[in-house]
Structure 1
Amino acid sequence: MFYYVSKIVWFFATPSNLLISLILLGLILALFRRLRRFGIGISLVFALATIAFGLLPVASYILLPLEERFLPFRDDGKPVDGIILLGGSVEAADSASRGMIVSNESAERVLDTIQLAHRYPAARILISGGGGTVFGDGAAEAPIIAAYLKSVGVDPARILVEDRSRTTSENAAYSKELAKPREGERWLLVTSAWHMPRAVGVFEKAGFPVTPYPVDFRTGGGSNNHRPFASISEGLRRLDLGTKEWAGLIGYYATDRTSQLFPGPQGSAAGGSASR
C-alpha cells in the first residue's frame, strides 16, 4: 500500500507537475469574468516560478548535500566479497521491446559495476531491481542487466539476480535474503550519489552492512554548482530528482525504514576517500 500511495502522491507533488498544474488552474480561473485578473495573476506568478526554478541553480543546491554525504570510494586493498548494483539505470520495458539494453542517464551504475567486476574477480555481483510501475508488474530490470554483464564477459556463476523489488527498502530486504551475507564480509553498494544516503540507511536497517560506492553525480565541483542551467527542462528535471529524494528520506524515516533522517558515514566501513 505504501508503494502505491507514494507513487500516486508524488506524481501530483512533483515540482514540475505542480507548477504546470497551477499555471493551468490560473488559466481556467481566468475564464470566469469575476476571477479573470486573479487567474491571470496566478498563471503569471507560477510561469515565472517555472522559469526561475528551471534556470537558476536551485536544483544543484538541493542535490549537493545528498551527493556529498558520502565520499567517493577508494580501493584500500581490503578484499571485496560482493558488489550490489541497485536498479534505476536501465529502461526495462524499452530494453525488452528492443532486444538490447537501453540505459538512461544513470548508466554509470552499470558501467562502474563492470569495472568493479574486473577489479575484484572473486566478488559476487548482486543485481537488484524488479518492475517499478504503479499499474501492472512492469518489466524487471535485473535480468536485463545480468544478461548484459554476461555478454561483456562477466562469469554468470558470479551473478545473483534479485528481480522482485520495487522500492529501495525492498532492494535491501530481498538482497539480504538472496546474498545471505556473513559477518565480516565486505559488500560494495553501487548506486547514484544522490540516492546513496537513503540506500545505505535501508541496508543498515535491514542488517546488511555495505560500503558505499557512489556514482552518477549530478552536481559539479566548486563554482560549477552556482551556474544557471542551459535549459528550463534540465533544471526542472534535476529539481524533481532532488526533491523526490529528500521526500523519500523523510518518508522512509517516518515509516521506520531507516534509523536516521539523513543517514551518513558510520566508521570506516561506510566512508571512503576523496579520490577513487
Structure 2
Amino acid sequence: MYFFASKVLSFFLSPSNLLVALGVIGALAWLFLSPRGGSTIMAASVFCLAIAGLSPLGNLLLIPLEERFPRAPDGEPPAGLIILGGAFDTVIAGARGDVALTKAAERLTQVAELARRWPESRIVFSGGSGTLLYDGVTEADLAARLLESFGVASDRIVLEDRSRNTVENARFTRDLVSPAPTERWFLVTSAYHMPRAVGCFREQDFPVEAWPVDYRTRGARDVVRPFSSVGAGLQRVDVAVREWVGLVSYWLLGYVSVPLPRP
C-alpha cells in the first residue's frame, strides 16, 4: 500500500507539477469565476516557477543531503558492494530490448572500477521494478547484463530483484546476503539519497558504510549558482523535495529512526 501511495503522492507533491496545476487553476478562475483573482493566481504561478527554475533553490535543498555522508575510509576490503537501483529506465529498456540508463547511471558505472579495486568483494545489486503504470524488465536483469559487460565475473554478482523502494532494498538485501557482524559492506547510491538509504539499512540491523556517487552539485560553491534554464532548475528542485519528503515520511512511518541520519 505504501508503494502505491508514495507513487501517487510523489506526482502531486512535485513542485513543478504543483506550480503548473496552480497556473491551470488560475486560468480556470480567470475564465469562469474572477478575472482579477485568476490573473493573480496565474502571476503567482509564473513567479514561483521562475524562482524555482532559475534561482539556486534546488542546490540549497540538495547540498545538505549530498554532504551528509563522506566515503568510507581506507582499511579492510569490503565483503561486498551493495548498489541500489534507480540507474535504469526499465520501461524504455523493456520496450527497446536494450540497457537504458538514467541520470543516476554512476551508481553502476563506478562499480566497474570498484570491482577491480576489491577483486574479492561480492557485487550485490538491489532493484526490481518501481514502475506503477507500465510494465518493463527488472533493474536486476539489466544490472547483470551491464556488470558482465564491464568484465565482472558472474559468480561475484548477487541479484535482489523484488524491491520497489529503499525500505525493501534494505530488507531484502539483508535477508539475501546474511551479513556477518565483522564484515564491512559498502553501500553505493546517489549522494543525495545516502542519508535515507543508510537509515533504512540501520533499521534492518545491517550496518553499512557509505560510498556516495552521482553528485549533482559541486558542494557549498553552488549555494549561489543559478540555473541557465527553468527546466534544469525545476528538475533539481523536484529531486531535492522528493528526497526530503521521503526522509520525513520514512521517519514518521518508522522506516528510519531519525529525520536526517548522520554518519
Contact 1:150 1:156 in 2 (8 A): yes
What's 2:27 paired with? 27
- Secondary structure in 2 matching 1:213: strand
Question: Paired residue for 2:156, among 158, 182, 198?
Answer: 158
Q: Distance in 1 between matches of 2:254 and 2:135?
A: 25
- Secondary structure in 1 matching 2:31: coil
Aligned CA-pair RMSD: 1.3
- Secondary structure in 1 matching 2:34: helix
Q: Distance in 1 between matches of 2:62 and 2:166?
A: 18
Q: Distance in 2 between matches of 1:122 and 1:171?
A: 23
Q: Distance in 1 between matches of 2:239 and 2:129?
A: 19
What's 2:39 paired with? 40
What's 2:90 paired with? 92
Read off the aligned partner of 1:22 and give its amino acid letter.
L
Task: Give 5+ residue unaligned stretches, structure 1.
Answer: 266-276
Q: Report 1:140-179 matches (<5 A).
A: 140-179=138-177
- Secondary structure in 2 matching 1:236: helix
- Between 1:152-161 and 1:65-74, the stretch displaced more is 65-74
What's 2:3 paired with? 3
Answer yes or no: is 1:193 the counterpart of 2:191.
Answer: yes
The two structures have a TM-score, normalised by structure 2, of 0.97
Q: Distance in 2 between matches of 1:112 and 1:241?
A: 21
Read off the aligned partner of 2:115 and give its amino acid letter.
A
Residues 256, 137 of structure 1: CA spacing in aligned structure 2 closer, same or farther, 3 A cutoff? farther
Q: Distance in 2 between matches of 1:180 and 1:252?
A: 24
What's 1:18 paired with? 18
Read off the aligned partner of 1:235 and give its amino acid letter.
G
Read off the aligned partner of 1:72 and give its amino acid letter.
R
What's 1:59 paired with? 58
Contact 2:63 2:220 in 1 (8 A): no
- Secondary structure in 1 matching 2:196: helix
Read off the aligned partner of 2:148 and give its amino acid letter.
K
Contact 2:179 2:206 in 1 (8 A): yes
The one-character-per-residue Cα deviations of 1:102-138 (angstroms, maximum 9, x if unpaired) are 1111111111111111111100111000110123664
Answer yes or no: is 1:230 the counterpart of 2:228.
Answer: yes
Q: Distance in 1 between matches of 2:134 and 2:26?
A: 34
Q: Distance in 2 between matches of 1:222 and 1:241?
A: 18
Q: Percent identity?
A: 43
Q: Distance in 1 between matches of 2:221 and 2:10?
A: 31
Contact 1:250 1:261 in 2 (8 A): yes
Q: Report 1:233-244 matches (<5 A).
A: 233-244=231-242
Q: Report 1:212-227 matches (<5 A).
A: 212-227=210-225
What's 1:270 paired with? none
Q: Distance in 1 between matches of 2:222 and 2:237?
A: 16
Q: Distance in 2 between matches of 1:221 and 1:62?
A: 11
Contact 1:132 1:138 in 2 (8 A): no
The two structures have a TM-score, normalised by structure 1, of 0.92
